[in-house]
Structure 1
């Protein structure tokens, strides 16, 4: 048996590193599922987990069939890829130092994350079928198109020098602004807003579950950001891990203190979302800002996410999990922050305004495409299949209405008017008699 060469050893190390990072990023879907299920009411927790599962199933297939080719295929004018569909090519034009299969798996985990960001925003009132269609379109077309501009070596934003190392723009801003478009078409949950526009609090059913989901996401981010180096031999991965961690810590800390100052008590939901906001914001610049810069970015995100929730509520854009604030607003801020805090090209480091200008152009471009395409898709779905469940189903709960089963059967009574099935396929009565089903009607 021949001894492996140094280049073969390097490829082996890099391949294992990317596969490990891909596993961490994919495990973030468990974090999304727990976070979103915890933030919604108990009667809708199965439904939201099902939507996250469909992101992983339908979304993976869509990205395999079409999305990867659009994103990383041979570029047509810097705007769209047009090769390597169904993973039939070898992606030689990318000059990868790892097998294309490892690269695809890592990128596919990113793709499904974009759709999952939207799943939380539309929770508790969107039909299951139309959501699956949107998830497929998002992973196969919307995300790959804008990510081609940013990450394909021939993409027009990549050629301009845009810095978005792991996706504050391509993943988080895209998912966040797509979420805003979706909820504007979908409309708010019953009882969320009073006739004068003031919001009512619809409490989360399990903050411990949501917190667990946030910890899983934080853990997975060590694959999301350092893994984007694509090399286990790149010593900068240590710096990337540190800046990632510091931004999360600063976001959660400021989220805690700022809500204490603003409302007199620390808000657990804002501590959770403050950490996630810091992570979404640092993702663009994690490889190019200093630890001090990472703390600044995370701290700004910790304040911004609290204020953004109020701004979004004033639009009557009902977002049960804060996806628009965390990913759209704070992800966008992180893209802009790179233009200021990049240690070689940033404005505050003597690099002038060139990078800042590129970052602004790139952010505006991908955000507009994400918002407008999602708005259009939801309008089409609304006028054909319909995107919203009936008032009766919304009040009863999505779990029973759409899936015929309850997440917490011990707290459910079973009248004969509604029938589901047990684990063996036998008919069993299910009910909407949940303590937390609101009885309020929509504002007249």
Structure 2
């Protein structure tokens, strides 16, 4: 097998093989890059750096297929730096030392080095520290690429020496321009009608490289009749949405779901719920999080919300997937339409702050039990009023430490069931004032 691939015939075939479309369409200047105006525009930080000849180290943060590697390569061309590319996945400290030594030698000969590190977040903290002296003395100009949030994945020391620039998913308009450029390179239009062209752009999901790969597949088809979107879908598998259950997308989407519920938008909440399920999220994680939403954002405005979530969680455990997800979806819908209140949550946080501030202050003696004669002599339980014996079943006694001013922790809203609780709270406050003044 190896002889076949090592043969001269195989080598000739390799030379004659067509270059991938993504390689053929690689931009030759920064002006040719499609999209990312927020980074490449003349008034952008990178544009200002280039105009003032003050290019510094950069971290490109963005999803796959949006041009991180291409832009880094073009930056090296425009600044006449040697472009060196490594991947954190395949590079260890021995290889890094060789890269740095080569860069030092190159610098002595009057040429700088732009070191492009793909997946830079894969390097551990110690490896990241290894870049610092070479960044500081000018041996390298570091350009890192990451799909993960640099704030969490990169050393503070590296971040302080590099500017983070965010690259975004390509828009449908950007992808359309890329498709037009690909068709000019191919020399003909793809055999697709308008609906199929739109569907192909959506399938790429903002990833330019994915779009070019899809275009290559379509270009290989032999058909005299333009395909519609249905025929296209039958021939092509839709690209899976980017979703890292342990990464930024996970936290971004659960944040979107939570805020949609809080914002009483059931349509948006269901959409983000479905996006997470489509991405492979564990339904049990979603069950736990929506239950937390019921506690935090609805609370006592609708006490049934929490029970509804727990019941849906139990239904999922009994039915499993995919039937059980419907119960969770119904819980999401219920939460979005429920009256909202964070009064219980806010009251809890105030109570925790008050407890931290007052430290070890004891309860007032009149509400302490006195199981021994010594404790009775110390005044434990003296003066306690049994509420059931009091008028209206309410004594109005103080239950806070004697040295502490009475705080207001739970402040119910005028929504849902908390409207009734607010009435009760006000009723007891008036009685308390009456008892204390009486």
Q: Same fold (TM over 0.5)?
A: no
TM-score normalised to structure 1 length:
0.20
TM-score normalised to structure 2 length:
0.20
Bigger Rg over Cα: 2
Flag the structure with more relative contact order, 1 or 2, with Cα contacts below 8 A and sequence separation at least 6. Answer: 1
- In terms of fraction of residues, the more helix-rich structure is 1
